[in-house]
Chains A and B, each alone.
Chain A
Amino acid sequence: DTEVTQTPKHLVMGMTNKKSLKCEQHMGHRAMYWYKQKAKKPPELMFVYSYEKLSINESVPSRFSPECPNSSLLNLHLHALQPEDSALYLCASCPSADSYEQYFGPGTRLTVT
């Protein structure tokens, strides 16, 4: 299995809702990432988990809360989002610190109303 899967594909939520994005990989990769991508812009790094521990938080607002329950699964919990948080949220995984190439999922298209 050489895929990174993300669910849901699309999500519409109100500013008072709580929702979660899910990412899964079964390649045995030891690092997993969350990125935010706005239209016609490059991916912006949000969080990195390395060996199931949060290793990078790029000063992301606390309304985004990552979680890594195990080495294959990465969640992004969303609460009290703003309309400007609407974007494509990408998950990626990377084999190890010896190989930084990333495998990306298809993303979750999030719309905050």
Chain B
Amino acid sequence: AQSVSQHNHHVILSEAASLELGCNYSYGGTVNLFWYVQYPGQHLQLLLKYFSGDPLVKGIKGFEAEFIKSKFSFNLRKPSVQWSDTAEYFCAVTPNTGGFKTIFGAGTRLFVKA
């Protein structure tokens, strides 16, 4: 069965620390990959996406993610986090079958200390 694993459920960082959140998926075919973010009290919004091409993608607010096909991974990174990055981060995968089905990882709660 298709699945998405996020390695860290809770992460606590100080401001200016670097961030890396792991995401691995299980699906043998072509996939579309996403990171969504849910800030406290706000709705889910797209942080960045990968469909094809350059495996290093940049999103909003200084986030980037790297698709490593051989490792079935799509890790999220940010060189220097801010207090305002406190949120829940979800990795999501849509197999490229034209079916629109999206599988979400369990999420990582990030708390950034000011």
Per a CB cutoff under 8 Å, which of A45, A99, A103 touches B101?
A: A45
Residue ranges of B at the interface with A (Cβ–Cβ < 8 Å): 32, 34, 36, 42-46, 49, 51, 90, 94, 98-107, 109
Cβ distance A15 to chain B, nearest Cβ, rounded Å: 28
Contact assessment for B45 and A33 in the assembled complex, using a CB-CB cutoff below 8 Å: no
Residues of A within 8 A of B46 (CB): 101-103
B9's nearest neighbour on chain A, judged by CB, is A40
Mark interface residues in A27-66 (1 if CB within 8 Å of B CB, else 0). 0000101000000111111001010000110000000000
- Taking Cβ atoms with an 8 Å cutoff, the residues of A that contact B are 31, 33, 40-45, 48, 50, 55-56, 90, 92, 94, 97, 99-107
B4 → A minimal CB distance (Å): 8
- Shortest Cβ distance from A91 into chain B, in angstroms? 10
A to B CB contacts below 8 Å, 27 in the list: A31-B100, A33-B100, A33-B102, A41-B106, A42-B90, A42-B104, A43-B90, A44-B104, A45-B101, A45-B102, A48-B100, A48-B101, A55-B99, A55-B100, A56-B99, A56-B100, A56-B101, A100-B51, A100-B94, A100-B100, A100-B102, A102-B102, A104-B44, A104-B45, A105-B43, A106-B43, A107-B43
- Asked whether B43 lies within 8 Å of A42 as measured between CB atoms, the reply is no
Partner of B100, one of A41, A43, A97: A97
Which of B44, B100, B101, B103 has a CB less than 8 Å from the CB of A90?
Answer: B44
Q: Told that A43-B104, A44-B104, A101-B49 touch, could you supply 18 new A-B pairs with CB distance under 8 A?
A: A31-B100, A40-B107, A41-B106, A42-B104, A45-B103, A48-B101, A56-B99, A56-B100, A100-B34, A100-B51, A101-B34, A102-B44, A102-B46, A102-B102, A105-B43, A106-B42, A106-B43, A107-B43
Contacts of B49 in A (CB 8 A): 101
A89 to chain B, nearest CB (A): 12
A41 neighbours in B (Cβ, 8 Å): 106-107
Q: How far is the CA of A97 from the CA of B105 in the complex (A)?
A: 21
